[in-house]
Structure 1
Amino acid sequence: MKSLQGKTILLGITGGIAAFKAASLTSMLVKKGAEVHVIMTESAKQFITELTLQSLSKQRVYSDTFQERDPSSISHIDLADSADLVLVAPATANILAKMAHGLADDMLSTTLLAATSPVMVAPAMNVHMYQHPAVLNNIDILSRRGIQFIEPGEGLLACGYVGKGRLEEPEAIVRCVESFFALSSRPESQPEQPLKGRKVVITAGGTVERIDPVRYISNDSSGKMGFALARAALAMGAEVTLVAARTDEEPPQAAGLRVVKVESAQQMYDAVLGVWEDCDILIKAAAVSDYRPKEQAAAKIKKSGDTMLLELVKTTDILETLGKTKNKQFLVGFAAETGDTEAFAKEKLVRKNCDLIVANNVAEAGAGFGLDTNIVSIYDTQGVVAQWPLLTKDEVARRLLLLFAERMTGISV
C-alpha cells in the first residue's frame, strides 16, 4: 500500500554514524509512494555517499548552498516550498542547536529556516550528549515551536555506551510519518466536528488533601494536559465539562465550556459522579491523591519535636468506581509512570475497566509535569494502539480526541 502517494518529503541527513540508516529510510519512503528530496550536510557525506541516496531516491541530492544548477530558481527556497514534510534523520546535537537558534550556515539549516511545512526530527547521539542541559533546552525550544520529535531508542551505541541515543529504526520512523499524514489529512466527506453533540467530561490538575489550613498533600500536575484536551474537544464540537483541581494556571474560558473547580479527591469524585450518567466520554487526566490525612486539623499545627506522625487513609478510586458502573460511556484513564510504563498501564487498564489508557513516562525529557510537551503511548485490551513522539500537548490532545471519536463511532477520522 502506497500510503505516502503524492507526498513530498524533504529528508535532511546530518553527520553521525546513524546516517547509514538513511539509505533504508529513503528506500522505504519511496516504496510508500513519497517523492523524497535529500539534503546532506558535509559531515553526513563522511558516512554515506550522495550517489547512494540519489540512486535510492531517484532525485538529485543537495549539499552545497551555492551549487545552483538552475538559474531560474533558488534551490533551498524551492525545496522548502515543495515539501509537505521536512524530516531530519538522523539529527545531531549540532543541527538541533542551529534550528533552535536560527543559524543558517549550510544547505540544510538554510532550507530549514525557509520551510513553512511541518518539521519532524529524529535525534541520534551519545547518551550523555542527549542528556546535556543545552541539548535538552534546545529540544524544549523546538518543541514549543511545534517541531515534532521521534524519540531515540535505547541500547548499545556506536561509542560503546549503553543508553538512550540510538536513531529510531527506519520502519518506526516511517510509521510516524504515515501517522502524521493520516491525522493531518481529512476526507472532504468527514465532518469538521467529529464530536459534535457529544458530552465530554475532562478532569485536570492535582487534588489537594488538607493537613491543616496551611499545609496539604498533592501531586505534581499542572493541569496543562487536561486544559489542552478541553480545548481540542471544544474545537471538535463537543459540549465540555472540565473538573479542575489545583493547576498552574487558570482554566481556559470559552463558549460551551463548563468549569467546575474542586480541591480534594472527594470533591472531584462528587463532581464527576454528578455528570457521569449523562456524559459520552470521560477523560480522567487529573492526578488524584491516593491517600488523605485521617484527621484534618482545624488550626495550623505548630512545630514540636524532631518528628511528626501523619496517619493517612485511602481516598476513593474515582476511575475504578467509574469503570465498574459504566455502560454507554467511553472511559479513558491516564497513567503517569517513572518506569515499566507499558506493564503498569496495561494492568491499570484492566483493573479499572477503561476503554483506553494514555501512558507516559514522566522521567523522560519533554514528558514531565508542567511542560508544554508530552510523549504518550495509548493502550487497549489488545495492546498498544498508538505511540507518538515528542509533541506539544495541544497536538497530543488533538490526536487523542480524533482517536476517541473514531473508537466511539467506528468511522475513521
Structure 2
Amino acid sequence: MLDGKRILLIVSGSISAYKALELTRLLRKAGASVTPVLTQGGAHFVTPHALQAIAGEAVHQDLWSLAAEAEIGHIRLARLPDLVVVAPASADLLARMAHGLADDLATTLLLATDRPVLVAPAMNWAMWAHPATRANMAALEARGVRVIGPNTGAMAEAESGPGRLAEPAEMLEAVARLLGAAPPALPAPLAGRHVLVTSGPTQEPIDPVRYITNRSSGRQGHAIAAALAALGARVTLVSGPVALPDPPGVGMARIGTAREMLAACEAALPADAAVCAAAVADWRSAGMAPQKLKKVPGQPLPPLELALNPDILATLSAHPRRPRLVVGFAAETENVVANAVAKRQRKGCDWIVANDVSGDVFGGSRNAVHLVTAGGVEDWPDLPKEEVAAKLAARVAETLAGGAEA
C-alpha cells in the first residue's frame, strides 16, 4: 500500500509518544520506510533505542551533530521524505511551528522542508482549547499543514476531553490518504458483534386520530446506530416514527408504541450490547377509543385514564438474555446528574447517558451529555450529535473488547 514511500516521523514530548512506536511498525508493515527524529521532550517518553529498533533506521536527535552536518544533514533530511509526520505533536512544538522557530533539529527540518506535513496533536484538553493553541492551529492549517485528531477521551491526568493522540491505525489511514494510497484493510473493532439500538419517540394512541408522544427527533439514536455500524457492528435499530433516513448498513425494525418496541427488542436478542436512546412514552391510554373522541359543546371532557408502559431499559437489564453492556439515556430538565445516577441504580443498567433537554436538544444538532458509570460521572463537552455518537461507540467497542470495565 505504501511501497517505496518515505516517511520522516518527528516524535515530540507527550505521554502518548509510545503510540509512535506502533505507528512506525504499521508504516513499515505497509511498505514505507521511516526515518525517525526524536525531540528532547520526546526522549523523556520513548527511548531512541526502541524507536531505532522498530524503524530499522538511525534516530536523529541533534541539530549540531558534526558527522551529520558535515553533509548539511538537516537539509538532506528535510528533502528526503514523501511526507513529514509529527506524532505526537505537543502544544510546544505546534507553537514553535506556527512562529517559524528553528532552534532544534525537529523545528529546523519543519522550516526547511518543502514536503507535505501531517501533525497529530496530543495534549491536555485545556491546552488544546486555549486561544493560543487555537490560533497556532489556525495559522498552520492556513499554510497547508494537515491535521489528524485529536481524539476525545480519558487522559493521563485523570481528566477527560479532546486532546488524546489519534490511534496509530487512524494515523496510518491519514498517511495513506495524503499519499494517494488505498487505505489499509484494518480490523473493525466491533466486527462480529451485535448491538441493539433504540431511537426516536413512541406514539401511544388515544383514539384513531390522537396519541401521546414526545418531541424526540431520533437524531441522536440514529447517529449512534450509524457510528456502531461504522465500527463493524451488526446493528439492529428499533425506531419509533421519525423523519430521518435509515442509517447505512443498519437493520431496521420500525415500531409505533412502547409495547411494540419492547417486543422488537426482545426479538433482536441475543446482543452484545444494547443502547436505549429512544424517548419511550412512560404512559399510554388505558383503553384506546375505537372511534374519534368528539368535542361536543356543553358536554364534559372525555376522561383520559393512563396506564404505565413497560420499562424497556429495566427489562433488558434484568433479561435472561441480558446483553453484556446495557446503556440507557436520561433526558432531564433539572438535577441532571443526580437524577441520572439514581436512574442507573434503579434500572440496573451499566451506563446512563444524561442530558439537559430544557433547551433545543430535541431536534437540535448538538448535545452536551454526562456519562454515568459505576466508576463515576464523565462530563462531555458540547458536541455535534454525530461526535457524541462516535465517542460513545468507541467506548462501547473498548468495553466489549475487554479494555474497560462496564
Q: TM-score, normalised by structure 2?
A: 0.61
Out of 221, 227, 235, which is 2:222 matched to?
227
Counterpart position of 1:383: 376
Counterpart position of 2:17: 5
Residue 88 of structure 1: how far off its partner (Å): 6.3
Q: Which amino acid aligns with 1:176?
A: G
Q: Using the alignment, how far apart are the partners of 2:185 and 2:370 within structure 1?
A: 26
**Residue 215 to residue 112, structure 1, CA distance change in 2 (3 Å):** farther
Please tell me whether the aligned partners of residues 118 and 146 of structure 2 are also in contact (alpha carbons under 8 angstroms). no
Residue 374 of structure 1: how far off its partner (Å): 2.1
Residue 288 of structure 1: how far off its partner (Å): 0.2
Please tell me whether the aligned partners of residues 346 and 381 of structure 1 are also in contact (alpha carbons under 8 angstroms). no
Q: Using the alignment, how far apart are the partners of 1:373 and 1:119 within structure 2?
A: 20
Residue 61 of structure 1: how far off its partner (Å): 7.2
Residue 7 of structure 1: how far off its partner (Å): 10
Q: Give matches, 1:63-212, under 5 Å.
A: 81=117, 83-85=119-121, 89-90=129-130, 111=140, 113=142, 116-117=146-147, 175-179=160-164, 181=166, 192-212=187-207
Matched residue of 1:5: which SS?
A: helix
Out of 299, 302, 306, which is 2:294 matched to?
302
Out of 317, 328, 331, which is 1:333 matched to?
328
Q: Structure 1: which 5+ residue stretches go unaligned?
A: 9-28, 40-56, 64-69, 97-105, 121-147, 151-170
Q: Using the alignment, how far apart are the partners of 2:236 and 2:189 within structure 1?
A: 17
Counterpart position of 1:101: none
Structure showing greater radius of gyration is 2
Counterpart position of 2:403: 411
Q: Give matches, 1:209-220, under 5 Å.
A: 209-220=204-215
**After superposition, what is the alpha-carbon deviation per residue over 1:229-256, rounded to whole angstroms, capped at 9, x for unaligned?**
22122222222111110113132243xx
Q: Using the alignment, how far apart are the partners of 1:358 and 1:215 within structure 2?
A: 31
1:400 aligned to 2:395?
no
Please tell me whether the aligned partners of residues 85 and 119 of structure 1 are also in contact (alpha carbons under 8 angstroms). yes
1:321 aligned to 2:321?
no
Q: Using the alignment, how far apart are the partners of 2:189 and 2:290 within structure 1?
A: 49
Residue 379 of structure 1: how far off its partner (Å): 1.8
**Residue 38 to residue 301, structure 1, CA distance change in 2 (3 Å):** farther
Please tell me whether the aligned partners of residues 282 and 331 of structure 1 are also in contact (alpha carbons under 8 angstroms). yes
Please tell me whether the aligned partners of residues 149 and 391 of structure 1 are also in contact (alpha carbons under 8 angstroms). no
**After superposition, what is the alpha-carbon deviation per residue over 1:110-153, rounded to whole angstroms, capped at 9, x for unaligned?**
65555642688xxxxxxxxxxxxxxxxxxxxxxxxxxx999xxx
**After superposition, what is the alpha-carbon deviation per residue over 1:280-332, rounded to whole angstroms, capped at 9, x for unaligned?**
21111100000111222222222235974422111111111121225551211
Q: Using the alignment, how far apart are the partners of 1:331 and 1:186 within structure 2?
A: 31
Out of 336, 348, 352, which is 1:353 matched to?
348
**Residue 90 to residue 345, structure 1, CA distance change in 2 (3 Å):** same
Matched residue of 1:354: which SS?
A: coil
Please tell me whether the aligned partners of residues 201 and 281 of structure 1 are also in contact (alpha carbons under 8 angstroms). yes
**Residue 296 to residue 180, structure 1, CA distance change in 2 (3 Å):** farther
Q: Using the alignment, how far apart are the partners of 1:119 and 1:186 within structure 2?
A: 9
Q: Using the alignment, how far apart are the partners of 1:183 and 1:353 within structure 2?
A: 36
Q: Structure 2: which 5+ residue stretches go unaligned?
A: 1-12, 21-41, 46-87, 101-106, 174-183
The count of aligned residue pairs is: 305
Matched residue of 2:206: which SS?
A: strand
Please tell me whether the aligned partners of residues 196 and 274 of structure 2 are also in contact (alpha carbons under 8 angstroms). yes
Q: Using the alignment, how far apart are the partners of 1:81 and 1:355 within structure 2?
A: 42
Counterpart position of 1:160: none
Out of 247, 258, 282, which is 2:274 matched to?
282
Counterpart position of 1:36: 91
Matched residue of 1:400: which SS?
A: helix
Matched residue of 2:91: which SS?
A: strand
1:263 aligned to 2:293?
no
